[in-house]
Structures are given as C-alpha cells and as structure tokens.
A and B are shown apart, each in its own frame.
Chain A
Amino acid sequence: MNPFKYEKAASLSGAITAVQRPGGVYLGGGTNLIDLWKYGITHPDKMVDLNGLNELKSITELPDGGVRLGALVSNNTTAYHPLILERYPLLSRTILAGATAQIRNSATNGGNLLQRTRCYYFYDPDSPCNKRNPGSGCPAINGHNRLHAILGHSDSCIATFPSDMCVALAALEARVRVSGPDGERTIEFTDFHRLPGDKPELDNNLGQHELITAIDLPANGFADNYSYLKLRDRNSYAFALVSVATGLSIQDGLIREARIALGGVAHIPWRLTAAEAELRGKEPTEANFATAADIILAGASGFEHNSFKIELARRAIIRNGMMALDPASQRPGAQPSL
C-alpha cells in the first residue's frame, strides 16, 4: 500500500524504458497487481500503465492458420470473440470459468499468465512464505494445504498457479511472445511457467523488465471435441481445486490427438505428453482416459488436506474426457455435466 509513481506508456519501447528502474512494474488490468499492492505483498515504486498500447489490443488471424491474442485484450473480450468462440471454444469456456464477469472485463490476457498464487500464507505478509520472503519457510506444508499442489511441489513451496485460462493455453500449445530490453522472443507455453524448486519466488521464466505482447494459438483449436471441468469449493467465484482442459481430435471413432492439461494441482498448468501419446489411436472410453489419468498422476503426492485431489483429479480427467465428446452438454462455470 506504499506510494508509487504512475506513468502511462505511449509506446511499447517507451514502456520498456520507463519500467527500467528498481521497483518498476507493468500495469495491465491491475486485478492482481493492485490487490497484491494493497496487501503489502508487492511494493512497486512505479507502475507503467500499458493500457494505452493499442497495438497490444487486438485479436488477429495468423498466416499459419492460428490466432494471435493481444496481451492487452481483456479476458472477456477474448472469450466472447467470434474467432475464439468458433475455433477455440475450449479457450472461451476456460476463460469464462475463471474469476467473475467484472474481473474478466479488466483482466488482460498477458496478466492472466502472471497471476500470483492464492496460497493463504503467501497472501498474508505476516506469515512466513518462501515465495514472498525467500528463506522464511513454508507454513502450508504443515498447515492448511487444501488449495495446494499434488504434483511438482518442492520442500520449499507447495503453492499452485491459479489461472484457468492458462490450462487451456497449455493444452492448446500456445506460444508466448515477449519483448524486453534485449528485444523480442517467443516462449513455448510449457516453458513459460516454472516449478518452485528451491526458488519459489520465481513464478515463470520471464526476464527482468520483459513483458508479454501476445499469445499465439496454433491452428488446431480442438473445436469439435473439447471440455473444461473445474472443481472448486463453490459453483463460481472460487479457484480450482482441480481443473481439467481436454481437447480431442477424433477420426473414425479413434483418438487421433489428445490434449489434457490440469489446473489447481501444481505450480504450473500441468500437462504430460506421454499420457496424451497413450491415447493416440485408442477409443475415447472411460477406461482409456483412466489409463491416461494414471500416467499423469503417477508421481502425485498430497498433504494433510489435499490428498483427496489425487483421486479427484483422476476422476475429473475421466469425466472430462467423456464430456469432451459432448461439448453441448456443458454447463456454465465449467461445472460437471453428463
């Protein structure tokens, strides 16, 4: 809740220049940053407002058949965009299962990737937390850990990444375009977020002062057979305990290609290509989805309050596979159907 300077960026390069000072941060929708600032979890010295950068505010078709999502386009605009509804309905459903209409109107696509964890202890500046205050300890391991990871956690952090949208982006193999002081580069979605390891303070592999300019979606949007299932402590306005994004390409009754990504279970959107490979050429049945689920969850381990998520994730993967066969059955808020 400290005072900070504010500057409205007039150009991308201007933004990158303006942010280069200690405590300089980019401001997109603000829905997470302003919250963290109010709690005294981040102490920005200067906020560089990107909202004037019109070049980051469009959704356009790419020559390779894909679609580019501008980083400053709001989550809701993206979810309701005709191109997305038609070709990437999985992404649309996934976005609409996150947060609330009000937040989605402000929250940006770029910002969605940069959300911080919702771990209770991270959010309380008076508690120890290795992510917020490296070396101070992790009270979640022996405390309340219902929201926490069952995959890829470390001795120093068991936090989860809270985004829904990113679960679909992981499944769709999106690529993240970034700009920074050293120029532009593209990061594969699977390489964007990182596991906590012994540096839980780092959520992702974005370089200092780099900013996301766009997210590129490949041509295949799995628009015929897809589903997002979000399991949480209430039917809306809650973070996922377990979520699953599934996209299937089916030909002659057999799975040609499958994508399965999980949310709410790890420090990153969790995707295991080996499990997807296992489904290739198989029939889309509960038994086959169960096999894939077992592969994905083989290394899972839980804590006092979240071990149930291992079995829940398994069942969610199976159900969501079946839901993907009948996208029309799906209900608002990515609630279970069938």
Chain B
Amino acid sequence: MKKQNSIGQPYRRIEGALKVTGRAKYAAEYQVEDLLYGYVVNSKITKGRIESIDESATRAVDGVVEVFHHDNRSSLPRFDLLYSDMDAPPGSPFRPLYDNKIQFAGQPVAFVVAETFEAARYAASLLTVHYAEEEFDVDLKANMDKARDPSKGLATFIKPLPPGPRGDFEKAYAAADERFEGKFHHGSQHHNPMEMFATTTVYEGDGKLTIYDKTQGTSNSQIYVSNLFGLSMSDVRVIAPFVGGGFGSGLRPQYQLVFSVMAALELKRNVRVSMDRRQMFTFGHRPETFQHTRFGATKDGTLTAINHEAFAETSNFEDYNEVVVNHANMLYPADNVTLDYKLIPLDRFTPMDMRAPGGSTGMLAIETTMDQLADQLDLDPLEFRLRNYAERDVSSDKPFSSKELKECYRQGAERFGWNERQPTAKKVRRGNRLVGHGMSSGIWDVIALPGKATATFTAEGKLIVESAVTDNGQGTYTVMTQIAADQLGLPLESVSFKYGDSKHPLSPIQGGSYTTGVIGSAVKAACLKLKDKLFHLAQIMDGYPLGDALPEDTIFTDGAIILKKDPSVRIPLTDIIAFNRGEAVSVSKSNVPNLLKIKQYTRAAHAATFVEVEVDEQLGVINVTRAVTAVAAGKIMNPKTARSQILGGMVWGISMALREETLLDNNLGKYVNTDLGEYHIPVHADVHQLDVIFVPEEDRIINELGAKGIGEIGVISMAPAIVNAVYNATGKLVKVFPIKLGDLL
C-alpha cells in the first residue's frame, strides 16, 4: 500500500487564481457600510514637543468628523507592558498620541477622520501644529562614543548576543601570516512592502470589533489592541488572509491600527486608516550599521583569528538588537575570536527586523573579508572556505543538527561553472565590460517556538485545519494544506486550511523563517491527534472492522483507514463520522519544541551563492548577469513556492549590494528619499538569470518536519557574492553599501 505524498511536490499556490484576478482582498479593500476614512498627520520636527494644535481649518472642511491628537484622544494606558507586542525589543514601546513629546521625525501627532478619503487627506494637511523644537542627534557616525551593550530581554533570547571571546585574538592576529582589516557601512533600509499599511475596523456594536489589518500576526494585533483599549480578547477579531508583503514590517503593530480602532470605538463607526508611502518610512527599518572586521590566517589558508564588531543605531526608547557578528566563527572554526555588538541610541524610530535581519548585515562584512584574505593567500575563495569548513560549531562547542553546506558549495559551483573563474581582476572582458565572478556562504539560525493548531474532520469528508498564522506570500497557505493532506492521506482539495484570523488558534508572528517549522509542526501534531481519535472511533465501529490492529498497522490514504496487511479492509473516514452520529471530529494540539534536545545542537540553514557581474570599466555600471544559489534548509515542502522564496531573497541581495538605502539628512534630522521613485528597489531590468538548487538535507532534530525555513537564507549569501564578484572584475573593493554608480570611477 503506497501513500501519496504532496510534501515535496511543486504545487501551485492555492490562492493563485484569487491573486491573479484581483479578487484577493487586502486590509484596505473590505467593502463595509458607512465607512469613515482616517488620514494621519506626522511631525515636522525631529525632537521636541507639541505646544499647541489649531484644528479650526481642519474642522471647517466639509465631511470632517473628528480630529484626534494627544490632547483629545480616548484614554490610553500608561504602562509600557500594555504596549508590548510579540516583537517588542527591551525598552519602552512607542505610544501613539500618548503625549506631546516628539521623539523622531515623522512621528504621528494626529489623525483626521472624514466621510471621504480626499476630505480626510485635505483636512489633515490643514492641521496647524505648533512645536517647540529641541536639538536632536540622528547621526550614527558622530555619536559612536555613545556605543553601549544592548539591554537584555526576550528579544536577546531569540536573537542571542555574541558569545564571549575564545583564545587570544590580538596575539593570534599579530602572529598571522596574512591579515585583513575592513570597515564596512550601510545606511538604514525600509521594508517598503508593495501594500501600504492599512486597517479597516468594523464597529460591530457592544464594543465588539472586526479588524482587517495589514500584519504578520493576527494574534499579535489582537492582543495589542485588547491591551491598549482595555477590551476583552474575545471582542477583538483581527483578520488578515492576504497581506501585500511584510518582510518584517508587519511584525509589530503599526500606528494606523491604533488609530483605526481608536476612531471606531470613539465614533462607533467603521473606520479605515491607510498610510501613504511617505509614512511607510516613519517606523521600524533595518538599522544603519558600521562594522569592523579583522581576520588573520596562516600561509596554508587556516583561519586563526576573527574579530568582528558591529555598531548599530537604535532609538532612545527601545534597544533593537539583531544577530550580526555571531556567524563568522560558526562557519569558520578559528580558535582566537573576539566578537562585539554595540548599540547607539539616536533620535530615530526603533529599528525592526527586516528580511534576513542581522545575518545579511554581518555576512556582508564576513564574506567580503574572507574573499580578501583568500586573495592575499592566493587561494580560490571556495578552496579557502573549504579549508576552513566547520564540521562542528566551535563558537558554542556543539554539533550541527545537520549541515550540507559542502554539498551546496559543490553543486552550486558545478552549476555555475566556478572553475572558469579567473583569479585576477580585468582578465575577462565583453566589450567595455569587465566580467567578474564571486561567491559567498550563507547561514541562518533556525528558531524554534511553540505553535498550536486545530484539526477537524467533517461529515462532508473535509479536513479543516486552523491557525491564526498569516501568509504574506511565503506560501504558508499552500504548504500547510499539503502537510495536513499528507497526514490524513487526503487529496489537497479535501483539505481546507483556515488562517489569517485571530479567532483561530494563537500563532506567533510570521517571521524569522520559522513559520513552516513552528506552525507546520503544530498542524502535523494536530493531524496526528485527529488520526488517533479517528482510529479509536474506527476501532469501536460496528463489527470491529479493525480487529485488534494497532494504529501502526494501518495507513490513512484516499480518505480511508486501510489495514496494511489486508488492504481490502478499508474504512472510509466519512463512515467514521457517520458512526460518530454525523458529528465532526475535532482536536486541538499545541506543539512545544523539546528545548532540552534541540539546545544541544547548532541549528542553521546554509547556502552558497555564485555570481557573475559585468562592470562597465569606464562608466562603473554594474549588472548581475547571472547567479546560482544552492540551499540546504532541511526538507523542502514545496519546491515551487520555495524556489520563489529563494529567488526573492536573491533579488533582495541585489538590492542590498547595489540599490537600496534610505538617505538620512543629518541637518534636518530626517530621511529624504521617502518614496519609491528615489528609494530604489530593483526593477525588472535589474534582475537577470537567477538559478536555485535545493540540496537534499535530512534533519531529525530541528522540528517534526525537518524543515529549516527559507525566508531569509536566500538573501544572505547574495549581496556578499556580488561585492566579491565586483572585486574580481575590477580589483576594487567597495565597503560602503549599496555600491553606487560612481563608486568605481
């Protein structure tokens, strides 16, 4: 008896038809009666306080219903804890409209609610806010003397601070045959998902709310709103089945959610508040970071000394941290290591996880440094990495739960044709263009969290699985359906995965590449429990068709339980429901990772990227003409959607290396290129041939599914591979990112 598995099959996205026909609804698109529109007013100053607000012109606009600001808002709690969200770093979370204090440029200071979108926008522009301005510090470089250790909290538990020193770095570095020291910098970056933040709050009466929110966590928004407005969780329902991209920006509730709810409660009306694109630059972002590396190696190419330091911005009210410096020694087993990660508080908003947070920053410095050392040692960059291949994580003295990085190197190099690489610059030309090849390793830590799901088998023969989790485009909807279908041996059409709704079992926010592992394991656990229950019902059915068979003697397939040794014994699952007096069978199950077990291992996804660039020798124009990324991330649930995740990551890598940066004006204390015209993300003409390889990898440690997650790993090795390829082409190393037109002149 063979069981059909959908896991590992390249299924098309279940919601595909909805998305390509425009019928998938996002937060600002729910049609509700008597809708009011809110428009936010943002601070024109960077630091100081509001002295007064003149509402008269605003209120005079036809259709204006209310103006909300710190002086007339509904009551809000004072305690930090009540503003905390699932991604809140240690500190005091920003409290929208709480008081007259201005802490960062673009801080929301008021919002106007009107009968039409146009009237709200116009009236918002007429609000006169008088400020008392204070001097601000936004300049990271000028405030390096304020660098200090990050505060500890839940965030540093999930994203650990660097381990302590090993050996004697200074001594080993001084004794090294070859040394490279690099200073790196990148500016702030903003997530800029295509959908702007929006919330449509439906006032259901009796204090009950239905909230369509753009978020990466419906449970997160639900808890946050309940705490802020003193509502019972059962009165707050947050719905987000379609989310137009997040990349981390939806891991924390954004201010439009607060305002939409505040106005709905106050006015007892349905209210929609949408951000505009400029406002998308007024909250969390990838932090501007300076990095300093010093690596030393012996003549034979053994890395002996690693020093990696990072200095990143944070706000004056929270300590955002990310894992920037921990990976060098995890990948390369040098014995003398000093790592340091410092924060510099500034008058800017708190940074926030942005696709491949920390890892993409740190690896850019690590892998560029590795290539420079390889160059000094006259070693092929891949050979240098192989000579320093870590079979065990010396940084924490633990084995890897699995690690197929070597195979990534091998398959990636072969597909790319790495052996054709010329070791010195300016050797390969196409007309005026120099051709260069570069590579990089990639690593992303696997995060384990508890998850929960319910599973129900109905009289109609349908399996319904539920979780509050969202799907921002990662393919969660499709993959969870596949996992559930396989457990009960059902075709995908018989499974309905209900998600994106806080009424379903609580889910952590969708980030960190852990959703498949966490929610997928919960779905699997719930389905196993359901199978068990169905089996036990079948056991007591009339005539005891299963006899004394144990669960392991049976198989769930084609919508039935079948006896392995006698496939003619076949009990349709719908018969079991009929026996259960037609009542659906439902179970709920939490999956809690076995921390004692998994903590004995270093758990990470790995990748290797190989890139070809063309650089116009005179004009400095860079094109990534082709790239291959080989990924080892455990079990790949759906190669079609997984490939898209990696491709997307590679495009983000192109962007990190060559395109995006939010420009901060230190004189004005604010970002200036706050639109999609001047905040450059890659266009179609920037993205050429990209190739993805999934290297088979079995991991029995990390979670029930053996899936490591793939949301971030595609980003991490791409940018450094590009930088290394540009060096290979031109002989010039650029350490300030993104590399811009003009940097190579």
Contacts and interface: CB of A to CB of B under 8 A. Distances in A.
A313 B663 CA distance: 24
Contacts of A315: 618-619, 745
Contacts of A143: 665, 667-668, 672
B55 to A, nearest CB: 18
A3 interface: yes
Interface stretch (A108-116, A226-234, A268-276): A226-234
A234 B620 contact: no
Contact of B122 (A3, A142, A147, A241): A3
B554 interface: no
Given A234-B686, A338-B432, A121 B672 contact: yes
A315 B744 CA distance: 13
A85 interface: no
A300 B499 CA distance: 60
13 contacts: A118-B677, A120-B663, A120-B673, A143-B668, A144-B663, A234-B659, A234-B682, A235-B685, A238-B677, A312-B745, A318-B618, A335-B685, A336-B616
B454 interface: no
Contacts of B680: 233-234, 238
Contacts of B745: 308, 311-312, 315
B685 A308 contact: no
B588 interface: no
B675 interface: yes
Interface string B601-634: 0000000000000001011110100000000000
B619 A234 contact: no
A181 interface: no
Given A127-B668, A139-B668, A231 B741 contact: yes
Interface in B119-177: 121-122, 125
A231 B621 contact: yes
Contact of A241 (B667, B675, B741, B743): B741
B383 interface: no
Contacts of B118: 1, 3
Nearest to B740: A233
Contacts of A184: none
B16 interface: no
Nearest to B658: A234
Contact of B683 (A120, A121, A237, A311): A237
Nearest to A126: B44
A40 B122 CA distance: 9
B667 A335 contact: no
Interface string A296-312: 00000000000011011
Interface in B572-610: none
Contacts of A126: 44
Given A147-B678, A236-B686, 10 more contacts: A1-B121, A118-B677, A124-B672, A144-B665, A235-B683, A235-B685, A308-B743, A316-B619, A319-B432, A338-B432
B125 A241 contact: no
Contact of B741 (A40, A124, A232, A338): A232
Task: Categorize the interface residue count of chain A.
Answer: 35 or more
Contacts of B431: 337-338
B125 A1 contact: yes
B683 A236 contact: yes
Interface string A117-130: 01011011011000
Contacts of B565: none
A327 to B, nearest CB: 16
A121 B668 CA distance: 10
Contact of B742 (A123, A142, A308): A308
A317 to B, nearest CB: 11
Nearest to A307: B742
Contact of A309 (B675, B677, B742): B742
A123 B675 contact: yes
A308 B621 CA distance: 13
A313 B101 CA distance: 47
A144 B673 contact: yes
Interface in B436-462: none
Interface residues of B, number: 35
Interface in B420-443: 431-432
A332 interface: yes
Contacts of B44: 126
B683 A234 contact: yes
A231 B682 contact: no
A127 B118 CA distance: 23
Nearest to A125: B125
A167 B745 CA distance: 24
Contacts of B619: 231, 312, 315-316, 319, 336
B61 to A, nearest CB: 9
Contacts of A251: none
A311 B619 CA distance: 9
Contact of B685 (A1, A236, A311): A236
A233 B741 contact: yes
A144 B741 CA distance: 15
Interface string A259-301: 0000000000000000000000000000000000000000000
Contacts of A311: 745
B684 interface: yes
Interface string A313-332: 00110110000000000001
Interface string B655-696: 000010001010110001111011010111110000000000
A2 interface: yes
Interface in A205-260: 231-239, 241
A312 B620 contact: yes
A333 interface: yes
A147 B742 CA distance: 12
Contacts of A237: 683, 685
**Best-buried of B616, B684, B743 by chain A (most CB within 10 Å):** B616
Contacts of A319: 432, 618-619
Across the A-B interface, give the 10 residue pairs with the lowest CB-CB distance, nearest first: A308-B742, A235-B685, A120-B672, A236-B685, A126-B44, A315-B618, A143-B665, A236-B683, A144-B663, A1-B121
Contacts of B659: 233-234
B686 to A, nearest CB: 5
Nearest to A322: B432
A318 B122 CA distance: 49
Contacts of B616: 336
A234 B663 contact: no
Contact of B665 (A3, A139, A239): A139
B460 to A, nearest CB: 46
Nearest to A233: B680
A144 B673 CA distance: 9
Contacts of B623: 235
A195 B675 CA distance: 27
Contacts of A139: 665, 667-668
A121 B672 CA distance: 7
A336 B665 contact: no
Nearest to B105: A126
A218 to B, nearest CB: 30
